[in-house]
Amino acid sequence: MKWAFLISGIVELLAGIMTYQNPSLLFIDIESTFRFYGLSISVLGIINLLCFKYFEEQGLCRSIYMSMMFFHAVVAVLSYRASELVYPTEALATHLGLFGFFVLMYMRDLKPASKRVDNHNRGLGN
């Protein structure tokens, strides 16, 4: 799960900087609100990088992980028919790929319930 944060953080940070500097690369109808969109994407990228650096299996990082997985799924669905995007297919592929990577890393790090119970019982001395 930790590596998904790194990859997502780098992609989001680069996209945020690019969107802030030149919104016309991604959006057809340029408005000042797209600069704020670029800033918010950059913040998501920084949060992902911080979660990568200070990763913990449980707690806040896990909640942020699930939120980012949902975020990439939603953006992929929304970009499928977005008329205001210059490259809707590329946005769909990027976010669908990141969503798939998040799901893959999440499934890889899942531990069967029986192992978690056994490890917990060993720690209690049973």
pLDDT digits (tens, 9 = 90+) for 13-28: 888 888 778 777 766 6
Tell me if 43 is assigned to some domain. yes
Tell me if 88 is assigned to some domain. yes
Tell me if 103 is assigned to some domain. yes
Count of all residues that appear for the chain in the document: 126
Tell me if 95 is assigned to some domain. yes
Tell me if 45 is assigned to some domain. yes
pLDDT at 41: 84
What whole-number distance in Å separates Cα of residue 42 and Cα of residue 21? Answer: 12
If one counts the domains in the chain, the total is: 1
The predicted-structure confidence for 58-96, as pLDDT tens digits, reads as follows 778 888 888 888 988 988 888 887 777 777 788 888 889
Is the model's pTM score more than 0.75?
Answer: no
Q: Which residues make Cβ contacts (< 8 Å) with residue 109, sequence separation at least 6?
A: 1, 57
What whole-number distance in Å separates Cα of residue 101 and Cα of residue 1? Answer: 9
Which structural domain, as residue segments, surrounds residue 18? 2-110
